[in-house]
Structure 1
Amino acid sequence: MLVPDKKPLYELALNKMEELIKTGVWKEGMKLPSEASLSKEFGISRATLREAMRIMEDEGLIAKQQGVGTFVRRKPIIRSGLEELFSVTALIKLQGMKPGTKDFTFYKLPALENEAEKLKLNPGDEIYKVERVRTADDIPVVYCVDRLPRKIVGDKFSGFEESMFAFLENEYNIKITYAVSSIKVVKHDFTIEKKLNIGKNGSVLLLEQIHYDENNMPILFSSNYFNADKFDFYIIRKRD
């Protein structure tokens, strides 16, 4: 039971639960006890407990999964602002971690209608489709699917080890200068979950980007599936 003082009860409950996470009593990924159990343990009403848990959810300390329960969120290992354009390799290095690649494959095939539209190609024009899993200190963090027009990289394309940006600049003197992006949540995709080694309760963020060179030509269409437990994206918004 919480020891009364001048603070509101929800704030006392909030401080107690934050301390349980901080000290490791409540570990990352752990499912929390039921509201009934917690309200009884703290000697507070469910309404008071819910207010404390709402604040914790806003702070990113816990995550509710409908019909499953409430879990302690795993701390992200990589943080990035969405207003800056980094390669995945550079992003991992900025965190002081070692980037790596696994499950590398590529194919030459006709562009699908949506791929052709985004890359300003005719439907059926050939592209290279590159698939790989990017790792940070050997931990799978991003499943990358990149599409490159064959007319840009030619017939001798054979892949690369890490940064797509560096590959294009070093091999073809093409510099990516900006990207148009969208981000969405992906739910229950077995293939992606297996690639990133996450369970059914894990979360995946899809960042789709069309990358352009300095002449405003679309060079690369990417679909990057991020393990949301490993990444924390943010954006700085300014008011005029």
Structure 2
Amino acid sequence: MALGSKASTNGHRSTTQSPGSDAASGIGRVIVLILTTPARLINWLTTPPGNAIMIGLGVLYFGAVSAEGYWQAMNANNPAFVPKPFVSDAADLKFFFTAVIAPSFWMATVVSLIVQGIQAFVLREIDIAKAKAEYEAIKDYRVPDPEEGQLDLAEYRRKRLKTVGMRTVRTRGALIALTYAIDAGIALWNYPVMGQSTGELVINLVWILASIFGTEAMINLFWNAIAPIKPQVEVLPN
């Protein structure tokens, strides 16, 4: 009996972990968690829905750059408050409070939002895949020829649609060209290219492009980022 009891006791001890082993395992898991946190954070911020946060911050940043540019174009003495890499414009975040209490800043912001909104809307409409799908859906459809003496309403509507459509395209194109011309003028005012050294010229050209296309590009990237996380409603057949 004594031997059997001793053997069972030894078996029980061999299958039971000591408190020290549990503590070491817990510490190991904590260390792994700490070491992998940066990688997991980067992964979350670069995939939906985390990337929408980063792109959203980009929208706010470039929107602020655009509003600041319009504000400074209204008055060259208005201070810069958005820090921009490699740009020596004495920008300081403390001047943000100077801007928000100035009515002229809000006027500039409204104009900037209108311009950027128009450009973002047009960029979002340019969808080659969508246009191709719409064409594929109707490419094999043919309207039958009308009988002699009948009024061809389809032809009338087609001509009217073409006329209205071309007028819409021309009007929209002129509006977009105007908004980009305004943006380019503001950008050239804030980031001059004449009389600059080679390094300053390159930096200013980069920021000219960023100030013209940055906001609307970020807006479209933001909508694309949140598209995969939108709830999908599936309609089941009856």
TM-score by length of 2: 0.19
* Larger of the two Rg values belongs to structure: 2
Bigger fraction of residues in helix? 2
The structure carrying a bigger strand percent of its residues is 1
Higher relative contact order (CA 8 A, sep 6+): 2
TM-score (norm 1): 0.19
